[in-house]
């Protein structure tokens, strides 16, 4: 195996519309990557495409699973993955896996877990529900037992049938922000703590399970409602940070703590039947996502820290934080972007790669084939060449 691994994040629809073999030949020959990481479950997307292909210039999809699920993996859940409409009855992921094997490229799955509207639309009972009772159009609740089993089943299905070297989990968590793929209409600011309270899930699953485990959910909901009603009545934001709010509201602190255990146990559940390496993206504010990355690091094989600002210092900070979680830099990977913003030339991408290599990183993902003009494969080639030369 090469001393430095570089995976390019890809969308399956770009590989299919441009031709799987042609794209992989080009990526291996011109960009010098060692593998690809293909989105296997994805949210709604509206993408402007610069490459020549058999598909539309603007690719619009409501999202969903990018493979045909095999029933046996979902025997313990009332949910089934909602297959992305553009796939119809086809399953090109199998051909991608075969084409990667033939070329000695490693294949990874990039699995967006709880963020996505296709599943919530089909299964609204599995959606995150705010304290006012509104179901999120874009997030599944990670404490819901059907959601958890469906995610476990998808990872088992993918790991068993496509020969992935690793499966990357992104957003296997509670909502990491209020973003929902449509025009949010808000004429005032709720402030950092106010937004966090709005993002909290109080669905039936959360209420029942937390109550069973001795957490006073009703009190947490009452406190959250009181603060939010105060913001609505006054129009003044709740200007404190969420962690300051937790210092003075024990019911909310207990609920936040319970939420973290839900996310940790979800990753443990997924791990039980994942036949390949499992990597967790270290993204999103931990208090929002309820992600205790040190706990998650104990369950998965590596944390992947994305850094989508072109600042080597920021990358260094992200790597240090992830290394503190894993206890070992060999279990930390980074995600860089060749898109603009943040990246505006080859030198910037190489500088980010240099920073990663200098900190002991030996695996980087780069974002994202279908979003990049083909001229940028040269930027990626320079970054890969630097890494493979300098990494020891
Ligand atoms: Zn919930």
Q: What is the pLDDT along the chain (392 residues), one digit of tens a residue?
A: 678 999 999 999 999 999 999 999 999 999 999 999 999 999 999 999 999 999 999 999 999 999 999 999 999 999 999 999 999 999 999 999 999 999 999 999 999 999 999 999 999 999 999 999 999 999 999 999 999 999 999 999 999 999 999 999 999 999 999 887 778 888 899 999 999 999 999 999 999 999 999 999 999 999 999 999 999 999 999 999 999 999 999 999 999 999 999 999 999 999 999 999 999 999 999 999 999 999 999 999 999 999 999 999 999 999 999 999 999 999 999 999 999 999 999 999 999 999 999 999 999 999 999 999 999 999 999 999 999 999 97
Q: Is residue 381 in some structural domain?
A: yes
* Contact (Cβ atoms closer than 8 angstroms) between residue 154 and residue 65: yes
Length of the chain equals: 392
* Contact (Cβ atoms closer than 8 angstroms) between residue 310 and residue 342: yes
Q: Please, is 315 exposed, middle or buried when counting C-beta atoms within 10 Å of its C-beta (0-12, 13-18, 19+)?
A: buried
Gap between the Cα atoms of 200 and 321, Å rounded: 25
Q: Is 42 helix (H, G, I), strand (E, B) or coil?
A: strand
Q: Is residue 376 in some structural domain?
A: yes
Q: What is the span of the domain harbouring residue 350? A: 5-185+260-390
Span from the CA of 125 to the centroid of ligand 1 (angstroms): 10
Q: Is residue 139 in some structural domain?
A: yes
Span from the CA of 278 to the centroid of ligand 1 (angstroms): 24
Q: For residue 88, how many other CB atoms are within 10 A of its CB?
A: 9
Predicted local confidence at residue 191, as pLDDT: 96
Span from the CA of 209 to the centroid of ligand 1 (angstroms): 9
Span from the CA of 390 to the centroid of ligand 1 (angstroms): 46
Q: Is residue 82 in some structural domain?
A: yes
CATH (domain of 86): 3.20.20.80
Span from the CA of 72 to the centroid of ligand 1 (angstroms): 26
Q: Is 64 helix (H, G, I), strand (E, B) or coil?
A: strand
Gap between the Cα atoms of 320 and 332, Å rounded: 9
Predicted local confidence at residue 115, as pLDDT: 96
Span from the CA of 313 to the centroid of ligand 1 (angstroms): 36
- State the distance between the two ends of the chain, measured CA to CA, in whole angstroms: 12
Q: Is residue 268 in some structural domain?
A: yes
Gap between the Cα atoms of 328 and 332, Å rounded: 7
* Contact (Cβ atoms closer than 8 angstroms) between residue 36 and residue 91: no
Continuous H helices in the chain = 12-18, 20-26, 93-103, 117-122, 145-161, 191-199, 204-212, 217-234, 242-248, 250-272, 286-289, 293-297, 312-326, 346-358, 377-390
Q: Is residue 24 in some structural domain?
A: yes
* Contact (Cβ atoms closer than 8 angstroms) between residue 311 and residue 349: no
Span from the CA of 177 to the centroid of ligand 1 (angstroms): 15
Copy the structure tokens of residue 238.
């709740």
DSSP conformation class of 316:
H
Q: Is residue 190 in some structural domain?
A: no
Span from the CA of 129 to the centroid of ligand 1 (angstroms): 6
Kindly report whether the global pTM for this prediction surpasses the value 0.85. Answer: yes
Long-range contacts of 215-221 (CB under 8 A, 24+ apart): 215/254, 215/255, 215/258, 216/251, 216/254, 217/255, 219/251, 220/251, 220/252, 220/254, 220/255, 221/131
Predicted local confidence at residue 137, as pLDDT: 93
Q: Please, is 216 exposed, middle or buried when counting C-beta atoms within 10 Å of its C-beta (0-12, 13-18, 19+)?
A: middle
Copy the structure tokens of residue 32.
């010098």
Predicted local confidence at residue 183, as pLDDT: 81
Span from the CA of 139 to the centroid of ligand 1 (angstroms): 10
Predicted local confidence at residue 1, as pLDDT: 62
Copy the structure tokens of residue 327.
């206890």
Predicted local confidence at residue 251, as pLDDT: 98
Q: Is residue 248 in some structural domain?
A: no
Closest by alpha carbon to 172, among 254, 253, 244, 274?
274
Predicted local confidence at residue 181, as pLDDT: 75
Predicted local confidence at residue 185, as pLDDT: 86
Span from the CA of 93 to the centroid of ligand 1 (angstroms): 32
Span from the CA of 148 to the centroid of ligand 1 (angstroms): 11
Span from the CA of 235 to the centroid of ligand 1 (angstroms): 27
Gap between the Cα atoms of 145 and 140, Å rounded: 11
Residues 6 or more apart in contact with residue 200 via CB below 8 angstroms:
130, 131, 174, 220, 224, 255
Domain count, the chain: 1
């Amino acid at each position: 195996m090469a001393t430095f691994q570089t995976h390019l994040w890809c969308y399956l629809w770009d590989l299919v519309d441009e031709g799987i073999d042609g794209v992989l030949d080009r990526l291996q020959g011109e960009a010098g990557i060692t593998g690809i990481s293909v989105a296997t479950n994805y949210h709604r997307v509206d993408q402007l495409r610069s490459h020549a292909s058999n598909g539309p210039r603007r690719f619009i999809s409501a999202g969903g699973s990018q493979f045909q699920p095999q029933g046996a993996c979902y025997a313990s859940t009332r949910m089934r993955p909602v297959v992305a409409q553009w796939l119809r009855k086809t399953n090109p992921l199998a051909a991608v896996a075969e084409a990667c094997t033939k070329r000695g490229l490693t294949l990874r799955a990039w699995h967006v877990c709880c963020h996505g509207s296709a599943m919530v639309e089909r299964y609204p009972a599995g959606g995150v529900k705010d304290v006012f009772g509104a179901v999120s159009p874009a997030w599944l609740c990670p404490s819901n037992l059907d959601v958890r089993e469906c995610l476990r089943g998808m990872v088992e299905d993918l790991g068993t049938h496509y020969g992935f070297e690793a499966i990357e989990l992104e957003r296997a968590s509670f909502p990491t922000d209020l973003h929902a793929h449509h025009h949010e209409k808000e004429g005032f600011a709720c402030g950092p703590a106010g937004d966090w309270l709005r993002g909290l899930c109080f669905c039936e699953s959360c209420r029942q399970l937390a109550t069973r485990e001795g957490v006073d959910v009703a009190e947490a909901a009452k406190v959250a409602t009181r603060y939010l009603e105060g913001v609505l009545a006054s129009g003044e934001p709740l200007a404190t940070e969420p962690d300051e709010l937790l210092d003075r509201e024990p019911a909310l602190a207990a609920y936040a703590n319970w939420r973290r255990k839900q996310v940790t146990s979800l990753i443990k559940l997924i791990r039980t039947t994942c036949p390949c390496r499992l990597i967790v993206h270290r993204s999103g504010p931990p208090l929002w996502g309820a992600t205790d990355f040190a706990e998650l690091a104990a369950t998965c094989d590596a944390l992947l820290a994305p850094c989508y600002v072109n600042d080597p210092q920021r990358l260094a900070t992200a790597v240090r934080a992830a290394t503190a979680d894993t206890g070992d830099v060999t279990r930390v990977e980074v995600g860089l972007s060749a898109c603009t913003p943040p990246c505006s030339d080859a030198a910037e991408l190489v500088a980010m790669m240099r920073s990663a290599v200098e900190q002991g990183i030996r695996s980087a993902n780069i974002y994202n084939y279908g979003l990049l003009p083909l001229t940028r494969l040269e930027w990626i080639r320079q970054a890969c060449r630097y890494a493979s030369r300098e990494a020891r």
